[in-house]
Amino acid sequence: MKVVTEISALRACLEETRRAQQTIGFVPTMGYLHEGHLSLVKKAKEMTDLVVMSIFVNPLQFGPNEDYSRYPRDLERDRRLAEEAGVDLLFAPSVEEMYPVPVRTTVSVSGLSEVLCGKSRPGHFDGVATVVTKLFNIVQPHYAFFGQKDAQQVAVIEQMVADLSIPVTIVPCPTMREADGLAMSSRNVYLNPEERKQATVLYESLQKALQLLKSGERSAGMIRDTMVKMIQEKSLARIDYVEIMTYPQLQPAVILKKGDRICLALAVRFGHTRLIDNLIVTVE
Ligand code: AMP
């Protein structure tokens, strides 16, 4: 595995791949890798000839009071895990390499960016869309792999790629979970033992919602209320949102009908840690 930190070096490495008409798969991450990230690499290896992973904690997508400076970082460990997973090329640029001058250009996907996480994280998805556009221009991959764990991010990126005719195919990949159901996240390391224990309620509430749907409940409000009650029973949980939205349009769902594709989405704080999770289901 090659590790490069400069855009020009990455482009030089990929020139030969392109000349040989090999396909390039791209897995963008913020590092502190876990099985969720590595499942994207696995999928990329199945579908493409050469896998590029980026590790970049993007300051543009963090709000002023968020965890940018304390976001977990360990490039040595990430390098080892990426290599073991079969990444061919690891791109780990500095902030100065990515943004040598203050950015004056923003990619903004209206309608999808202001709801759910966009409400409590204003500007977050503009930061994501801008850095992903930049990374797509740098790597020019044929396929790019994103986790459904960040379902809103997938919706934003797919809309952006369609709107701007970016020549890449987005491949959404399933959420990897711990044995007790908690969605894997680099931020899980922030949780103390009691918070970690209580955080299993997130997946449990999604499973409960699924059960209600399967037993014929069609009121989104009723399903949502049940989830909220379950989560509120945990003393350390502070709900940011629990929503049932159409997917990928991200409009509020009211009465569910057969064939509707919906996203059951939530964000909940445990102490200083904000966790998100979701399920995407088609109503039967
Ligand atoms: P991050 O480093 O958190 O920005 O995530 C990089 C990529 O990994 C994004 O496409 C995420 O959606 C994806 N990802 C993060 N956690 C998981 C998970 N538990 N399962 C699958 N994909 C994930």
What is the C-alpha to C-alpha distance for residues 96 and 264, in angstroms, rounded to an integer? 38
pLDDT 10s digits, 209-240: 999 999 999 999 999 999 999 999 999 999 99
pLDDT 10s digits, 164-199: 999 999 999 999 999 999 999 999 999 999 999 999
Cis peptide leading into residue 64 (ω within 30°): no
> Residue 77 to residues 72, 74, 148: CA-CA distances in angstroms?
12, 6, 24
Any atom of ligand 1 within 6 Å of the Cβ of 54? no
Structure tokens that stand for 38 in this block: 């590595």
Q: Report the pLDDT value the prediction gives residue 185, as an integer from 0 to 100.
A: 98
Closest CA to 128 of 113, 149, 138: 113
pLDDT 10s digits, 239-260: 999 999 999 999 999 999 999 9
Does the annotation count 37 as an active-site position? yes
User: Residue 252: CB partners within 8 Å, gap ≥ 6?
Assistant: 220, 243, 244, 245, 246
Q: Report the pLDDT value the prediction gives residue 44, as an integer from 0 to 100.
A: 99
Look over the chain and give the mean of its residue pLDDT values, rounded to a whole number: 98
Residue 165 is given by DSSP the state T
Structure tokens that stand for 168 in this block: 């890449």
39 CA: nearest ligand 1 atom? 21
Mean pLDDT over residues 52-68, rounded? 97
Structure tokens that stand for 5 in this block: 């930190």
Q: Report the pLDDT value the prediction gives residue 253, as an integer from 0 to 100.
A: 98
Helices (H), the chain: 7-19, 35-47, 75-85, 95-98, 117-120, 124-139, 151-163, 193-198, 201-214, 220-232
Q: Of all helices (H) and strands (E), which one includes residue 242?
A: strand 237-246
Q: Report the pLDDT value the prediction gives residue 67, as an integer from 0 to 100.
A: 96
Q: Report the pLDDT value the prediction gives residue 149, as an integer from 0 to 100.
A: 98
Q: 142 and 24 in contact (C-beta within 8 Å)?
A: yes
Q: Report the pLDDT value the prediction gives residue 248, as an integer from 0 to 100.
A: 98
First to last CA, the chain: 45
Structure tokens that stand for 178 in this block: 């711990």
Mean pLDDT over residues 109-121, rounded? 98
Mean pLDDT over residues 78-103, rounded? 98
Residue 122 is given by DSSP the state T
Mean pLDDT over residues 24-42, rounded? 98
Q: Of all helices (H) and strands (E), which one includes residue 147?
A: strand 143-147
- What is the 257 CA–ligand 1 centroid distance (Å)? 30
Mean pLDDT over residues 6-31, rounded? 98
183 CA: nearest ligand 1 atom? 19
Q: How far is CA 185 from the centre of its chain?
A: 9
Mean pLDDT over residues 45-51, rounded? 98
Q: Report the pLDDT value the prediction gives residue 15, as an integer from 0 to 100.
A: 97
- What is the 194 CA–ligand 1 centroid distance (Å)? 24
Any atom of ligand 1 within 6 Å of the Cβ of 146? yes
Q: Report the pLDDT value the prediction gives residue 25, as an integer from 0 to 100.
A: 99
Torsion on CA atoms 137, 140, 142, 144, rounded to nearest 10: -50
Structure tokens that stand for 26 in this block: 């791209």
- What is the 36 CA–ligand 1 centroid distance (Å)? 6
Any atom of ligand 1 within 6 Å of the Cβ of 150? yes
186 CA: nearest ligand 1 atom? 3
Nearest CA to ligand 1 atom 18: 36
